[in-house]
Structure formats: structure tokens, C-alpha cells
Structure 1
Amino acid sequence: MITDWHTLNREPSLPGLYVQAASRRKITGTTLPDAGLRCWVDVDPKRLAAYRNVCGFADNGLLPPTYPHILAFALQMQLLTARDFPFPLLGLIHLSNRIRVLRPMGGVNRARISVQVQNLQPHAKGATFELLTTLDDQLGPLWEAESRMLCRGVKLEGEPVEEVLTSMLPLSEVTRWKAPADIGRQYAKVSGDYNPIHLSAMSAKLFGFPTAIAHGLWNKARTLAALTDHLPTANVEIAVQFRKPVRLPGEVTLLASAAGSSGDFQLLGAGDLEHMAGHWQPVT
């Protein structure tokens, strides 16, 4: 697929995009648009500091490996609420996320974000697609990500293909932490992601959840912050699959293999309930 790129002069405004998202509840097709969006964005030091605080990252002079998601969020929202995007944004399920840090992300004050969707595939519960995001600075590609999203109720021909991450290396406990009842609201303030399922038990129940659940990307960010000493700062790919949601409030335990160029990790809840599984390896 050839992407039809559209360049924006400024970041989209989130309030209007949330209105659009709330007004669209129906599946309107089974074809992904070929349009992509690009925009130069500035890194706000105050917002970055707040993100580090909420996710547990130390200020080491580098952008946290998950922070480009925050820079890209408004652009992603505009792409996923556009008229030619066939699925309602509210109700999409984030199944997995893969990021690649291509170069050390130090001294990044301004960068170009690009977003597009591709690879529509049948799934046992509907259909999946990939939301692709890239970050470039003046020297070229710096960071890229693939988020696999599920839309329930879509019917496509073909056999579903499932990829399952499994730990191949011995894991030991690294740390554990509590996810407070308000972490969804805290993360929403720094990310812009005000999905109702994360904000309160009352709003989550409107979408079929008994209580609020933590953002998947907060779980990943909090995990990578705890694994800072395990992970390379660049030339690294970090993939996760989101399993059972972390109900709020909750407590989780992080297991990981030894530090090195490759490794595995796992986020567990009470009764060894698996919330997230992942691995890191050199970019190939």
C-alpha cells in the first residue's frame, strides 16, 4: 500500500477529536484508508517531567522509550476519528505494542511524527490492524512503533493468525508496585488519553468493566522505567502483549531475565494472573 501523506501545520486539538470519537459508534466498512498524517511537534519540558514522574522514569537526559507515544497521541486521534476510518475509536482494544529505539534519544527538542494504519487481518473476535508511528529528528529516523488494535464485530474472510510471546529465559522478581485508584486519571493528564475505561469505576462500567483499569501503555512505561538498568538505550526493540487488564487499585510484580542485549519480562498480578508479557532484543 502506498501511503498518501498529509502534513499538518500544528498538532490537532484533542477536545474536538473526543467529540468526534464519542459521536461515532458504528462500523462503516472493512477497508483501511491509505492516508497518513505528519506533523512537527515540540517537546514540552514540563509535560515531559510530569510524564517521568507518573511513570517512574529518572531524568537521565534521554526521552523515555515510551514517550514518543505521548508526542504522537493527538495525531493518532485525528487519524482514527477521520471519516474514512471505518471503526469507532471507543471500544478498540490494544492487543500488543512494539517499539524500536534506533538511536539514543538525547537532546530531542523538536521532532516529526508520522502515523498511519495498515495490515487489516481477521481475528477470532473481529479484526485487527496496526497503528504505525514514527519519530524523526533532523538526522533522520529515531524511533518507531507498531500498536496492534482489535475491533470487535468486524467480519473478514481468512483464518485468524495469533502471535503469542512466551518467556524463553529464566525470570526472577525485579520489583513490585501498587497501581493506585487514580493512576488512570494521573496518566490521562500527561498523555491526553481520557478513555473512560481508565478514569473511574463509574465510567468504566459504561463499557462493561467492573472497575477502572490501568492504561496498557502506562503498564509498559512503568515496566520499562523499572528495567532501565536491564535495557540498552538504543538499537533495541521492545515488544509486549497485553493480557488481562490491571484493575484499579491493584498491585503487580515484575519478573525479568538478566540484563543484556536480549531478554524477557512478565508483569503478574494476584494469583500469578498475567497482565503483560514482553521481550527486548537488538533491532534487526
Structure 2
Amino acid sequence: MQWQTVGSPPFLAPLYWRAALKRKITGTALPEQGLRCRVSVNPKAVAAYRKVCGFADSAVLPATYPHILAFGLQMQLLTAKSFPFPLLGLIHLSNRIRIHRPLGGISDLFIGVHAQNLKPHAKGATFDLVTTVEDSLGLLWEAESRMLCRGVKLEGAASDEAQSPPTQVSEVSRWKAPADIGRRYARVSGDYNPIHLSALTAKLFGFPQAIAHGLWNKARTLAALGEHLPAANIEINVEFKKPVRLPSEVTLWASAPGSSGEFVLKGAGDIEHMVGKWQPIA
């Protein structure tokens, strides 16, 4: 892997323009290059994120917040000329984060992003978007988001590694996903994907209504679980199932507090939106 260090987090507007112009698959190999950048944590931005995602005030960053710090770099990587797949149309299948140490007392961080693990899938191909966050002591947090690009033809058999739904769970919380949550989350995350913003823009991409961001669903779930989970040495894995159409109401079911457990986010008619589990880092 070759690394390019960027002087500051990229400005998003030109990257969105680049994403809008690229609609074709241009290859079947991931670039062997990653991006790195130093970022500063802005307390006002963290407070706005907490409000949208339901996190209580704390001296420790929300477990999902490093995604927000890395978003500009991820956009730069995924809209680069060398990247073979168009950003618009990528589907977020699953997300795993690992918190190695508590995310407290943090101001400056070093973020790295790269793509790896290209594999055939029944509907195209998947790859992992990998994000690492380091502080002065070393690796602090890391994530893998599995993305699907439809229509890619790769050699080999497609593997299916679906997580089975949890069994020993009880209702923990329920909340409404309001019609404007996609726009509100976009303002704090920078993720203005049209499928999340309004029914009108979602219809352009084949969705009857706007759908909630997968990472908002995960963040809102972790906010609701609160003290349920350890603050560090934890891996939290989710699979996104059926999208949460806006507006709607969802219910969170989870196992008892502890070092490991499972959860599921359900909608009307017991539809599964997201299944997940947490466990100590192996």
C-alpha cells in the first residue's frame, strides 16, 4: 500500500461534483493507494452530531464519531480517477468498528483510509472501505465498511456471510426516524447522498421514499444502548438489512449489558432493518 498524505481535510463540494459526473464502472481492480490526514476535533461539531444521533453529553467521543472525521478523506478516495467504481449507487452492506482505547481527551488525530478485499458478490462485487484513527499513542479506532457495487463482473464464486438474527433479546428502546432526519444527519456528517434527503431526490435512484443513513441507524442505536456496552476494547459489527424509510418508527431489541451481546433494529411488521453484535476485540 502506498500512502499519500493530504495537508488538510478536503473540501466536499468539488468531490460531490466529481461523484455526480462519474456514472460508469472503469475497471475491476482497487487502487493500491491510501490517503492520510491530520484532523482536529471541533467540540461544536461533536455537540451537533450528539444532538442529531441522540448521544448524551460525555467527555468521551461517540463510538461512531470518527466516521465523521474521516468522511472527506473517504470521499476523496472514492471519487479519485484511479477508483474504478462510481460513488453514487454504492450500497453500504455492513460496518464494523473497533475501539482499542477510550475516545476521551482527544484533540488532534491522524486518519488513514484505503480500500481492500475486492470479492465477487451475487449482485456484483464488494470491497471494504477501511478507516484507521491514531493518536500520539498509536492505533485508537478502526472501521471497515463493506460496500457493494452492482454490475461488476469478477472471476470466482460469490460468498454469502450473513449474520444470523439474535435470539436472546428484549426491547430496549423505540424512536421515530422523522422525515427530515436524512437532511439533519447530512448537515453534521457531510453525507448528502440524494437517497437520504427527500422523496423527490430518492426517486431518481429508484427509492419510493427517502431512507435513513445506515450510519445514523447505527449511531442512534449505540446512543440508545448507552452504558450497555464497554467503552473500549470492543468490536461492534452491524449488517444493514431493509432500509428505514422516512418517516417511520423503529424498535431496538438487545441482549443484557455485558462484554458481548447482540441487537436488532426492527420496523413495522417485524421487518429487520439492522442486526448487530458487540464483543471484545480478538
Give the TM-score band, short-chain normalised: over 0.9
- Aligned-residue RMSD, C-alpha: 0.6
CA distance in 1, matches of 2:74, 2:195: 19
Can you give the 5+ residue segments of structure 2 that lack an aligned partner in the other structure? none
Residue 21 of structure 2 corresponds to 23
Residue 163 of structure 1 corresponds to 161
2:200 matches 1:202: yes
Residue 217 of structure 1 corresponds to 215
**Matched residue count:** 282
Secondary structure (helix, strand or coil) at the match of 1:214 reads coil
Q: CA shift at 1:169, angstroms?
A: 4.7
CA distance in 2, matches of 1:65, 1:59: 13
Residue 91 of structure 1 corresponds to 89
Residue 278 of structure 1 corresponds to 276
Secondary structure (helix, strand or coil) at the match of 1:113 reads strand
Partners of 1:169 and 1:263 within 8 A in 2:
no
1:243-272 C-alpha deviation (Å, 9 max, x unpaired):
000000010000000000000000000000
Residue 104 of structure 2 corresponds to 106
CA distance in 1, matches of 2:20, 2:108: 31
Aligned pair partner of 2:233 in 226, 232, 235: 235
Residue 119 of structure 2 corresponds to 121
CA distance in 1, matches of 2:8, 2:238: 31
Residue 181 of structure 2 corresponds to 183
1:215-268 C-alpha deviation (Å, 9 max, x unpaired):
000000000000112100000000000000000001000000000000000000
Residue 148 of structure 2 corresponds to 150
Q: CA shift at 1:163, angstroms?
A: 1.1
CA distance in 1, matches of 2:163, 2:278: 11
Secondary structure (helix, strand or coil) at the match of 2:220 reads helix
CA distance in 2, matches of 1:201, 1:25: 21
1:128-169 C-alpha deviation (Å, 9 max, x unpaired):
000000000111100000000000000111111111112455
CA distance in 2, matches of 1:90, 1:168: 32
Secondary structure (helix, strand or coil) at the match of 2:164 reads coil
User: Which one-letter code corresponds to 1:113 in the other structure?
Assistant: I
Aligned pair partner of 2:5 in 4, 7, 29: 7
Can you give the 5+ residue segments of structure 1 that lack an aligned partner in the other structure? none
CA distance in 2, matches of 1:112, 1:220: 23
Residue 79 of structure 1 corresponds to 77
CA distance in 1, matches of 2:51, 2:40: 19
User: Which one-letter code corresponds to 1:154 in the other structure?
Assistant: V
User: Which one-letter code corresponds to 1:137 in the other structure?
Assistant: D
User: Which one-letter code corresponds to 1:123 in the other structure?
Assistant: H
Residue 37 of structure 1 corresponds to 35
CA distance in 2, matches of 1:188, 1:245: 17
Which aligned segments of 4 or more residues in structure 1 are displaced greater than 4 angstroms? none
1:71-94 C-alpha deviation (Å, 9 max, x unpaired):
000000000000000000000000
Partners of 2:166 and 2:264 within 8 A in 1:
no
Aligned pair partner of 2:44 in 43, 46, 55: 46
How do 1:259-274 residues align onto structure 2 when only pairs under 5 Å count?
259-274=257-272
Secondary structure (helix, strand or coil) at the match of 2:228 reads coil
CA distance in 1, matches of 2:27, 2:133: 29
User: Which one-letter code corresponds to 1:204 in the other structure?
Assistant: A
Secondary structure (helix, strand or coil) at the match of 1:146 reads strand
Secondary structure (helix, strand or coil) at the match of 2:242 reads coil
Identity, % of aligned positions: 70
Secondary structure (helix, strand or coil) at the match of 1:111 reads strand
Partners of 1:236 and 1:281 within 8 A in 2:
yes
User: Which one-letter code corresponds to 2:34 in the other structure?
Assistant: G
TM-score by length of 1: 0.98
User: Which one-letter code corresponds to 1:120 in the other structure?
Assistant: L
CA distance in 2, matches of 1:169, 1:123: 28
